[in-house]
């Protein structure tokens, strides 16, 4: 089916389908969401007002048989950071949208009346219906309702109560192949969807095949690519232990932010580690391996059961476990899993919310380590939108401002994730300079600083960090545009056959003749487009800084501070 | 001399999580890896007292050595 742009105007409740303009034809995923937002959204607009646009775009290879290509990009101006935002998720939606020929779904405007709606994406376009029954319901109830109304094969993109309440940590959830959820976690995009009054989007299943310019070349390249992924040892440990395998190695390196970023090692690390999770899953009859979309050969996800062997959560990630675990000093994996499930249902980012909880602990709202109270706050305060719930649900910076806390780990208002930038300096450059606010995935220097993938750059030295972060941010912007999972990057960094195979697949899909230089150029263009939007939104180089406490307070065990000058950081953009 | 050795992920299977090993003075990280029956190519990261080290690094009494397979995530 031919690729087109699907548009939904929530002000006049009209929909349309457009041809893809020539200059967007070679774009997908993040490159496309950022191009559309930069071209059509006033950088000075209120992110929750009618001028913002919410854009979903499958990657360039989504919907094909290419391994690990089912990632969906979601973009808008972020209400949390005020910057442009692209947040990336698995689930079934990217592949389904691509097969419907939907290169991008653009939701604009805002209803005048106080009503909620749902969207239904079909081969003929998008229809809008008023929604009453599911307003106020959690994400799992929405998925069940769509299954009952339309059938279990439909895709679902949904917001929970957090998105309806326009909380700045609200996420957007995407149904996975088992009817569970993956999330466009960061940047409060759930609030943007809520501001458009769209409770959920249902997507028609389709048997359509993605057209390929050169099917034979595609087949050959996709085999090489899948082989490179499968044979990389990272893929194997990720499948066995999940991303939570990182707890022990980051703790060992003294870079696991603990007790609201006051320490680099957590006494309870073993209890929340990937190794412990692996044992518990096997003992309780869960699933060690699980995929977020069909065609994933890594399968880093898992199904985690409670003590009685009943489903508790899935897609139980390192970042979520670190944030509610080490950062809040909760050393009980079952409590963290329950928190994960509640946050999935409310539709709120596990990183932002748990880091906000850590700041609330420092403020004395609750004690460090008090997991049961954290669960109560999630259920009774955030889910119900009490004043305390809204303060925490608006993120770490909101909690810091409200309670006068000065140790607030955010960049551009977005919570810093699971690696202390004082002890792993490359990631500090990424946090400071990312066009998205603090975001580890934007340029994952942990691969090279810590895990020896793509060489090794000493995490405690300043040397080489700027170049490392820059090169990875450029490469990531390109990979995020292909629909590929970011975990393909380990094989891309280490296996010489992997990147050429990826480029060959794109060429065989579209009949293009891109080279590796073109891919680098695409990554640079994406970053520059996003940076330009942020500059027009009023951001300046002084926003590319880490919070002051990182320079003043040394973090044990290495007792190191953040010691990059502003001038040194600003050189990041010299490309 | 005594060195505390910590193993992670699949390296624990059939071995141990953490153990004090009695070693000859000046032993290398490589010698420990070999003595544990771990294939060198499977080793992703080694840390000595929370700092990255190479397989040729020499151990001293009281050191803590952590040995990880090739891992990733994020």
pLDDT (tens digit, 9 = 90+) per residue, A468-493?
999 999 999 999 999 999 999 999 98
Q: For the segment B7-24, what is each residue's pLDDT rounded down to a tens digit?
A: 999 999 999 999 999 999
The tokens for A314 are 């899935």
Write out residues 452-511 of A within 8 Å (CB-CB) of B: 452-453, 456, 458-460, 486-487, 490
Residue B44 lies in a domain: yes
Contact residues on chain B for A237, CB-CB shorter than 8 A: 9-10, 69-72
CATH number of domain containing A123:
3.60.9.10
CATH number of domain containing B62:
3.10.20.30
Report whether pLDDT(B73) > 90: no
Residue B32 lies in a domain: yes
Residue A490 lies in a domain: no
Residue B51 lies in a domain: yes
The tokens for B5 are 């050795």
Report whether pLDDT(A93) > 80: yes
Reported as a pLDDT band with limits 50, 70 and 90, residue A50 is very high
Average pLDDT over residues A84-112: 97
- The per-residue pLDDT for A317 is 96
Q: CA of A187 to nearest chain B CA: how many angstroms apart?
A: 17
Q: Does A570 touch chain B (CB under 8 A)?
A: no
Query: Given A246, A253, A558, which is nearest B73 (Cβ)?
Result: A246
Reported as a pLDDT band with limits 50, 70 and 90, residue A305 is very high
Report whether pLDDT(A207) > 90: no
Q: For residue A514, count CB atoms less than 10 angstroms from its CB and return exposed for 0-12, middle for 13-18, buried for 19 or more.
A: middle
Residue B74 lies in a domain: no
Residue B39 lies in a domain: yes
Residue B21 lies in a domain: yes
Average pLDDT over residues A26-34: 97
Reported as a pLDDT band with limits 50, 70 and 90, residue A284 is very high
Residue A520 lies in a domain: no
Domain count, chain A: 1
Reported as a pLDDT band with limits 50, 70 and 90, residue B74 is confident
- The per-residue pLDDT for A9 is 98
Give me the domain span that covers residue A127: 4-203
Give me the domain span that covers residue B49: 2-69
Domain count, chain B: 1
């Amino acid at each position: 089916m031919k690729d087109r742009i699907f548009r939904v105007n929530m002000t006049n409740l009209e929909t349309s389908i457009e041809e893809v303009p020539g200059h967007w034809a070679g774009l997908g995923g993040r490159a496309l969401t950022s191009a559309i937002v930069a071209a059509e959204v006033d950088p000075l607009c209120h992110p929750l007002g009618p001028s913002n646009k919410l854009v979903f775009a499958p990657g360039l290879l989504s919907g094909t048989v290419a391994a690990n290509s089912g990632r969906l990009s979601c973009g808008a101006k972020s209400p949390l950071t005020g910057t442009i935002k692209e947040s990336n998720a698995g689930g079934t939606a990217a592949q389904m949208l691509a097969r419907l020929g939907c290169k991008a779904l653009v939701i604009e405007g805002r209803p005048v009346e106080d009503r909620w709606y749902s969207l239904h994406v079909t081969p003929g376009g998008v229809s809008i219906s008023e929604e009453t029954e599911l307003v106020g319901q959690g994400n799992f109830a929405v998925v069940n309702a769509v299954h009952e109304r339309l059938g279990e094969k439909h895709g679902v993109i949904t917001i929970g109560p957090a998105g309806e309440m326009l909380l700045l940590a609200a996420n957007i959830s995407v149904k996975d192949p088992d009817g569970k959820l993956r999330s466009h976690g960061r940047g409060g995009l759930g609030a943007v969807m809520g501001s458009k009054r769209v409770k959920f989007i249902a997507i028609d299943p389709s048997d359509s095949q993605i057209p390929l310019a050169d099917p034979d070349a595609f087949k050959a390249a996709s085999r090489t690519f899948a082989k490179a992924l499968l044979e990389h040892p990272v893929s194997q440990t990720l499948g066995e232990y999940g991303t939570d395998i990182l707890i022990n190695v980051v703790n060992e390196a003294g870079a696991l932010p603990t007790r609201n970023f006051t320490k680099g090692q957590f006494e309870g690390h073993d209890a929340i580690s990937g190794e412990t999770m692996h044992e518990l899953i096997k003992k309780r009859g869960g699933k060690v391996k699980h995929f977020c979309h069909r065609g994933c050969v890594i399968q880093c996800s898992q199904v985690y059961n409670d003590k009685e062997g009943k489903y508790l959560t899935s897609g139980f990630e390192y970042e979520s476990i670190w944030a509610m675990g080490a950062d809040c000093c909760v050393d009980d994996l079952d409590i963290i899993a329950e928190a994960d499930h509640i946050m999935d249902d409310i539709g709120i980012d596990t990183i932002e919310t748990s880091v906000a909880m850590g700041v609330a602990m420092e403020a004395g709202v609750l004690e460090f380590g008090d997991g049961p109270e954290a669960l109560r706050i999630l259920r009774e305060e955030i889910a119900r939108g009490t004043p305390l719930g809204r303060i925490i649900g608006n993120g770490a910076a909101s909690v810091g401002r409200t309670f006068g806390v000065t140790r607030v780990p955010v960049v551009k208002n977005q919570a810093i994730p699971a690696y202390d930038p004082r002890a792993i300096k490359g990631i500090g450059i990424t946090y400071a300079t990312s066009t998205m606010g603090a975001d580890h995935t934007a340029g994952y220097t942990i691969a090279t600083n810590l895990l020896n993938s793509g060489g090794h750059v000493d995490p405690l030295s300043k040397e080489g960090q700027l170049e490392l972060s820059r090169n990875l941010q450029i490469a990531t912007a390109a990979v995020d545009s292909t629909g590929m999972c970011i975990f393909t990057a380990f094989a891309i960094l280490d296996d010489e056959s992997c990147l050429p195979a990826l480029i060959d697949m794109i060429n065989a899909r579209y009949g293009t003749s891109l080279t590796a230089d073109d891919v680098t150029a695409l990554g640079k263009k994406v970053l520059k487009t996003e940076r330009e939007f942020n500059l027009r939104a009023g951001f300046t180089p002084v926003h590319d800084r880490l919070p002051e406490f990182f320079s003043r307070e040394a973090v044990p065990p290495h007792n190191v501070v953040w010691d990059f000058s502003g001038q040194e950081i600003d050189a990041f953009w010299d490309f | 001399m005594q060195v505390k050795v910590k193993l992670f992920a699949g390296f624990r299977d059939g071995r141990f999580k953490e153990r004090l090993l009695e070693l000859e003075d000046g032993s290398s990280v490589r010698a420990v890896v070999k003595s544990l029956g771990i294939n060198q190519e499977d080793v992703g990261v080694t840390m000595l007292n929370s700092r990255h080290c190479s397989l040729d690094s020499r151990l001293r009494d009281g050191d803590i050595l952590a040995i990880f397979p090739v891992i990733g995530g994020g």
